[in-house]
Chain A
Amino acid sequence: MSDTAHVIHHLSEYLDHALTAQERHAVEKHLEHCKECSVHFKELQHLRQRLKAAPELTPPESFYQGVLEQIERDKKPFLIWDWPMTTKAIATFGVVMVVVMVAREARRSEPELFAPVSPAAAPEAAPAAPVSVAQPATPVALQSKTLRKAMGASSVASDEKKGEENKDVDQLASAARARESAPAADKALDLSGASGAPVAAASMNNVGGKVALQARDINGPATQGSFAEGQQLPAKKEISATLSTAPSAAAPAQTTEWKGGSSAIASFRTAVITSDADWKALWAQHQQNQVPPPPAPAVDFSRYTAVAVFEGSKPSSGYAVAITDIETGPETITVNYREQAPAAGTVNATVMTQPYDIRLIPKTSLPVTFIKQP
């Protein structure tokens, strides 16, 4: 700091006594003979005094009132409309996101939900047979007698006999109607009776105290409610009603269909299951992604055969497979199924899905053919 140079830039610090002793000395020396800097310093000094001496402001009474009112307002519960705009926006966004996610989740898991179609679930739309029915001993005996008659009649395949056979069927139907319990079985039997179809052959199996009735219609077309969806089946149908001779209450309803969009079987496959061991093996494979794998549903393979279609892995939701109907011919059983792809223009979750449909049909030893419907 030379003696001749102005010290204006140091005056602020000099004012605050913030200079080193040497610097302060130089400034003081300069101020002694430099009028310009001296005046400048005096003005700064004056400014500082003025600032320091500035009187405190007196808040108006309204200021205190405002603070008190604000405190009172804050004591009240904090309602949603008191939230700041950003909080409201975030909350709204959050609610919308939750709704969207729930909707997406619901949509995604829709095909995964098992769609068990049981008689109990839809007694009106799907009069399902086979149905276990509690039967008083007498009607069964009566029925057996009637059946024996029918069997005898079947050996004589003549037009004259047909009237008698019809009579037998009517008798069977009326016997069934007369029963107090088992409305579902009645329905099945009523249908066979009401169709007026001549029964040419009827076979009776007595297995373990249970009477299995098989009535085969040879001639005319007959309609019969299907096992699951109640659709109309074409001619050559097998009507099966398994009747329990025990006078106990109805057995728990058997689920006859399992359908969904998530299986561990990742490539296309069809299956016909006739034994419990095979059923358990298939189910273990089907559910192996789940920990622990749920047990296979109980199925009585003395009464049922399971048919299954696994579509394999699909790239998104919206795919499905459904067994549309089951045709029973004299030498083969045809399982018709339809694949469903997501409709164009729909938004689908990009998750791997494995649609499947497993259905129980009355026990059969006939070969099963799977036919894909367009």
Chain B
Amino acid sequence: MRENGPRIYSLAVRLSGNLADGQDLAQETFLKAYKNWGNFRGDADLSTWLYRICLNAWKNRVRYEKRRSFWRHFSLDAKSEEDEQPRELASSDAPLDHRLESMDRGEQLHAALAELEPEERAIVVLRDMEDKPYEEIARELHLPLGTVKSRLARSRERLRLLLQAPEKQS
């Protein structure tokens, strides 16, 4: 557990978008791994096995949240793209800009990731942090390849804008 702890913990926190949920997800991952230890085939990489458990647990949580209509920002997806980008950042993310200024770089990154929708965040985390190919991301998240590409581009653009201001200051 201690060997894979940091990796799974980081993945869980990044996927969840906040520390509390991430810690919970990581804990759930290790508990599931403990309970299903009999299913682990020695030929597979333990780290990969844990990564898959964590991702599946996260997907279950998102599905659960969706069902309970907790996905409050869902309506934003429906807006047109030009409507979405600069104006939105100028208005709703203005307070975040201020908060980001006072954070260190690692915290800034997490705070910016937290601003994304769960699925968009997952795409960025899997692609840019876990270095997974598009195809695998599409398969894992049950999304068409084109959607993965477009959402990744959009999410990167949001992160770029979010992190631009504190970057320039520093």
Contacts and interface: CB of A to CB of B under 8 A. Distances in A.
Given A12-B153, A44-B156, A64-B5, A54 B129 contact: yes
B160 A47 contact: yes
A301 B153 CA distance: 99
B30 A56 contact: no
Contacts of B55: none
Given A43-B160, A55-B106, A57-B9, A12 B149 contact: yes
A51 interface: yes
Interface size class of A (residues with CB under 8 A): 20 to 34
A71 B34 CA distance: 8
Contacts of A71: 31, 34
Given A58-B6, A67-B1, A67-B30, A43 B129 contact: no
A35 interface: no
B160 to A, nearest CB: 5
Contacts of B157: 12
A126 B165 CA distance: 102
A76 interface: no
**Residue among B2, B5, B35 facing the most chain A CB atoms (10 A cut-off):** B5
Interface in B1-47: 1-2, 5-7, 9-10, 13, 23, 26-27, 30-31, 34-35
B76 to A, nearest CB: 19
Nearest to A58: B6
Contact of B149 (A18, A44, A48): A18
B98 to A, nearest CB: 20
A71 B27 CA distance: 10
Contact of B6 (A50, A52, A56, A67): A56
Contacts of B106: 54-55
A47 B93 CA distance: 19
A242 to B, nearest CB: 77
B131 interface: yes
A25 B9 CA distance: 40
Contacts of B164: 43
Contacts of A40: 160
Nearest to A51: B128
Given A13-B149, A18-B134, A67-B30, A51 B9 contact: no
A70 B156 contact: no
B111 interface: no
Contacts of B163: 47, 50
B153 A9 contact: yes
B134 A56 contact: no
Contact of B31 (A9, A58, A63, A74): A74
A292 interface: no
Contacts of B100: none
B7 A56 contact: yes
A16 B134 CA distance: 9
B159 interface: yes
B59 interface: no
Contacts of A63: 5, 9, 23, 26-27
B94 to A, nearest CB: 20
Nearest to B153: A12
B26 A56 contact: no
Interface string A262-279: 000000000000000000
Interface in B151-170: 152-153, 156-157, 159-160, 163-164
A12 B152 contact: yes
Interface string B121-136: 0001001110100100
B114 interface: no
A52 B159 CA distance: 14
B109 interface: yes
Contacts of A44: 156, 160
A12 B156 contact: yes
A13 B27 CA distance: 35
Interface string A52-92: 10111111000110110011001000000000000000000
A14 to B, nearest CB: 10
Nearest to A62: B23
A64 B1 contact: yes
B19 to A, nearest CB: 9
Interface in B52-84: none
**Residue among B2, B124, B131, B153 facing the most chain A CB atoms (10 A cut-off):** B153
Contacts of A9: 153
19 contacts: A12-B153, A13-B149, A18-B134, A44-B156, A47-B128, A47-B160, A48-B156, A50-B109, A51-B109, A51-B128, A51-B129, A54-B129, A55-B106, A58-B6, A59-B6, A64-B2, A66-B27, A67-B30, A70-B27
Given A47-B163, A52-B128, A66-B27, 6 more contacts: A16-B127, A47-B128, A50-B109, A56-B6, A57-B13, A67-B31
Closest 8 CB pairs of A and B: A12-B153, A51-B128, A59-B9, A56-B6, A57-B10, A56-B10, A67-B30, A59-B5
